[in-house]
Chains A and B, each alone.
Chain A
Amino acid sequence: MTTLLEFKNVSKQYGHDTKALSDVSFAVKEGEFVSIIGPSGAGKSTLLRCINRMIDASSGEIIFDGANVMDFRKKELKKLRTRIGMIFQHYNLVNRLSVIENVLHGRLGYKSTLAGVLGLYTEEEKQQAYSILRILGLEDHIYKRCDQLSGGQKQRVGIARALVQNPKMLLCDEPIASLDPNASRIIMEHLKNISSSMGITVIINLHQVDVALKYSDRIIGVNKGRVVYDGTPDGVKTNELQSIYGTDFGKTVDEQGGQHAG
């Protein structure tokens, strides 16, 4: 399989002395399901946002589909973002609009300014949005306002919004951190399905180590802005976890287990 994304010595510095990322290098193949794990503040979110340039890295190269993302100008950047879907912890939907309107927001990047402003979508786009919602089991709720949905349903709308972009890659920023275990499982299974059946590369930030180990093809462990582990889930043992989460890891295992309820 070909390489879709490659980080080459990427660093990100906030201000003078806060380094969010230092010298990060790794590569992701097409269709891979990659989990990024690490303690809070390790730079996971920054890493993810550097890929679609929601945050600009300070130095290094980020190669996506053969082109260096760091060199992109406004127009190319917009095109890049349409090809990368993003899913958020707090869903980030427009609560006052209906489900289908929120999903169609994923098409805005492909539209002219005027059509986007007026909310004019083609019949084809609407059909596509509907069929994606059906796959995710939301076909009964398409005219509901988003603030009437449960957390798990909202996150599925978020996934639908990302999928309607026809993305090559999905970036998921802690998509299950605000969900109960059952909803979390449903979301993770949908993401896994998307990855395997549609061939979309998924990069996901997770706090739940067991979930990451269960669903991923590959694990990247981050601590203090550095990649400290990069390999298969089978290779993640107590030693590796301690290097990711610090030497106290064994003591906090119970809290880690309790976290998926939160």
Chain B
Amino acid sequence: MGWGWDESIRAVNDKAGNKAGQIHNKPIRTKPFNKASFVIQITLLTLVALTLYGFSSFDYKDVHFFEAAYNSLVTVKTMFLEPHFQHFTFAGALKQVIVTLGLAFLTTLFGAVIALFLGLLAARNLSSNTVSVMIKGMVAFIRGVPTVLWVLIFAVAAGLGSVAAVIGMTFHSVGYLIKAYSESFEELDKDVVEALKASGANWWQIVFQAVIPSSITYLISWTFMRFEINFAVAVAMGAAAGAGGIGFDMFMASAFYYDVREIGVITYFILAFAIALEILATRMKRKLRAAE
């Protein structure tokens, strides 16, 4: 056996153009040296060099690095360990979080309804190739532009505020959900569609009687995922686009009142709601799984 193995190695070496026996003389490399690994190494080295250069050439002015770092930590400590209400009450904050939640819910709902129909048209197995490619291309473009930018684009027409935020966030949600939905539809067994087609059912009947019931768990879990994203975006929109809600209060607390303690309160509120949403989502998914 051993002889045969040796022989076969030699044969392989011969095929690769090496001389037999040479394999033991050179150190054996476990990773082959090729263009890809060379480029990766060069890139990493360049990044390290740039980082070092960047730190050494900062203009620190009168700020001393360690003192500044210490002061930042003190601020963070004040923010999170000594939170207090200044410009609004607990009930007020709760109301504002609910406004933010409402913004997220509304945009997700609009997005889901629109995306459901366009998602059906974008699914390759349910629609014609041209329509599918057209919708998917458009959707890729919509998703490529960040939500904040869409809000600012619509702010040109609607003015900065909640209207622009709702339209812009809905727009991006539609883009996201069309992709998610259409891919869920495409995973559907096409045999089921064939069976209903063969019994004389039309497109709408097939969609509502077979396609949606089969992919409902995916639809729900994607929609919830988008809801969580929209909650985070809605907070940011409150500050960036004046859409109201807890984000706007946070913006006021930080940029107008310089009240770090209040920022702490608001952060806790947002965190609590984000965690609550996450738990709700996990529970719902578990329930859906259990129904499988």
Known contacts A92-B191, A94-B214, A96-B213; decide if A162 and B208 are in contact (CB<8 Å).
no
**Binary interface encoding of chain B residues 198-209 relative to chain A, with 1 for a CB under 8 A from any of its CBs, else 0:** 111110110111
Q: Is B194 an interface residue (CB 8 A)?
A: yes
Distance A119 CA – B201 CA, assembled complex (angstroms): 12
Q: How far is the CB of A202 from chain B (nearest CB, A)?
A: 15
Q: Do A109 and B201 touch (CB < 8 A)?
A: yes
Distance A162 CA – B195 CA, assembled complex (angstroms): 9
Q: Do B214 and A105 touch (CB < 8 A)?
A: no
Q: Do B210 and A81 touch (CB < 8 A)?
A: no
Distance A88 CA – B198 CA, assembled complex (angstroms): 11
Q: How far is the CB of A98 from chain B (nearest CB, A)?
A: 10
**Binary interface encoding of chain A residues 73-103 relative to chain B, with 1 for a CB under 8 A from any of its CBs, else 0:** 0000011111011101010111111000100
- The B172-200 residues at the A interface (CB cut-off 8 A) are 189, 191-192, 194-200
Q: Do B194 and A54 touch (CB < 8 A)?
A: yes
**Residue numbers in B under 8 Å from A117 (CB-CB):** 204-205, 207-209
**Residue numbers in A under 8 Å from B192 (CB-CB):** 92-94
Q: Is A60 an interface residue (CB 8 A)?
A: no
Q: Return the chain A residue nearest B207 by Cβ.
A: A117
Q: Do A54 and B195 touch (CB < 8 A)?
A: no
Q: Do A165 and B201 touch (CB < 8 A)?
A: no
Distance A105 CA – B208 CA, assembled complex (angstroms): 11
Q: Is B216 an interface residue (CB 8 A)?
A: yes
Contact of A161 among B189, B191, B199, B202 (CB under 8 A): B199
Q: Return the chain A residue nearest B201 by Cβ.
A: A108
**Residue numbers in A under 8 Å from B189 (CB-CB):** 92
Distance A162 CA – B205 CA, assembled complex (angstroms): 17
**Residue numbers in B under 8 Å from A119 (CB-CB):** 208-209
**Residue numbers in B under 8 Å from A78 (CB-CB):** 200, 202
Q: How far is the CB of B20 from chain A (nearest CB, A)?
A: 47
Q: Do B200 and A79 touch (CB < 8 A)?
A: yes
**Residue numbers in A under 8 Å from B197 (CB-CB):** 54, 81
- The A113-131 residues at the B interface (CB cut-off 8 A) are 113, 116-119
**Binary interface encoding of chain B residues 206-228 relative to chain A, with 1 for a CB under 8 A from any of its CBs, else 0:** 01111001101000000000000
Distance A238 CA – B210 CA, assembled complex (angstroms): 45
Q: How far is the CB of A232 from chain B (nearest CB, A)?
A: 29
Q: Is A111 an interface residue (CB 8 A)?
A: yes
**Binary interface encoding of chain A residues 35-55 relative to chain B, with 1 for a CB under 8 A from any of its CBs, else 0:** 000000000000000001010
Contact of B199 among A90, A95, A106, A118 (CB under 8 A): A106
Distance A95 CA – B292 CA, assembled complex (angstroms): 10
**Binary interface encoding of chain B residues 156-175 relative to chain A, with 1 for a CB under 8 A from any of its CBs, else 0:** 00000000000000000000
Known contacts A95-B214, A96-B214, A117-B204; decide if A105 and B209 are in contact (CB<8 Å).
yes
**Residue numbers in B under 8 Å from A85 (CB-CB):** 199
Distance A116 CA – B205 CA, assembled complex (angstroms): 5
Q: How far is the CB of B196 from chain A (nearest CB, A)?
A: 6
In terms of DSSP, what is the predominant structure of the interface of chain B?
helix
Distance A110 CA – B200 CA, assembled complex (angstroms): 8
Contact of A111 among B198, B205, B207 (CB under 8 A): B205
Contact of B205 among A93, A113, A165 (CB under 8 A): A113
**Residue numbers in A under 8 Å from B209 (CB-CB):** 94, 97, 101, 105, 108, 116-117, 119
**Residue numbers in A under 8 Å from B204 (CB-CB):** 113, 116-117
Q: How far is the CB of A55 from chain B (nearest CB, A)?
A: 11
Q: How far is the CB of B83 from chain A (nearest CB, A)?
A: 47
Distance A82 CA – B199 CA, assembled complex (angstroms): 5
Q: Return the chain B residue nearest A87 by Cβ.
A: B195
Q: Do B196 and A105 touch (CB < 8 A)?
A: yes
**Residue numbers in B under 8 Å from A80 (CB-CB):** 200
Q: Do B194 and A92 touch (CB < 8 A)?
A: yes
Q: How far is the CB of A77 from chain B (nearest CB, A)?
A: 8
**Binary interface encoding of chain A residues 145-182 relative to chain B, with 1 for a CB under 8 A from any of its CBs, else 0:** 00000000000001001100100000100000000000
**Residue numbers in B under 8 Å from A93 (CB-CB):** 192, 195
Q: How far is the CB of A146 from chain B (nearest CB, A)?
A: 11
Distance A54 CA – B201 CA, assembled complex (angstroms): 13
Q: Do B202 and A81 touch (CB < 8 A)?
A: no
Distance A97 CA – B212 CA, assembled complex (angstroms): 11
**Further contacts, 13 of them, CB under 8 A, given A105-B210, A119-B208:** A54-B194, A78-B200, A79-B200, A88-B194, A92-B194, A93-B195, A94-B213, A111-B205, A116-B201, A116-B204, A116-B205, A117-B207, A165-B200
Closest CB pairs A-B (n = 3): A109-B200, A116-B205, A92-B195
- A-to-B contact residues, CB < 8 Å: 52, 54, 78-82, 84-86, 88, 90, 92-97, 101, 105-106, 108-111, 113, 116-119, 158, 161-162, 165, 171
Q: Could you name 12 residue pairs across A and B whose Cβ atoms are closer than 8 Å?
A: A52-B198, A54-B194, A85-B199, A86-B195, A88-B195, A92-B189, A92-B194, A95-B214, A105-B201, A118-B208, A119-B209, A165-B199
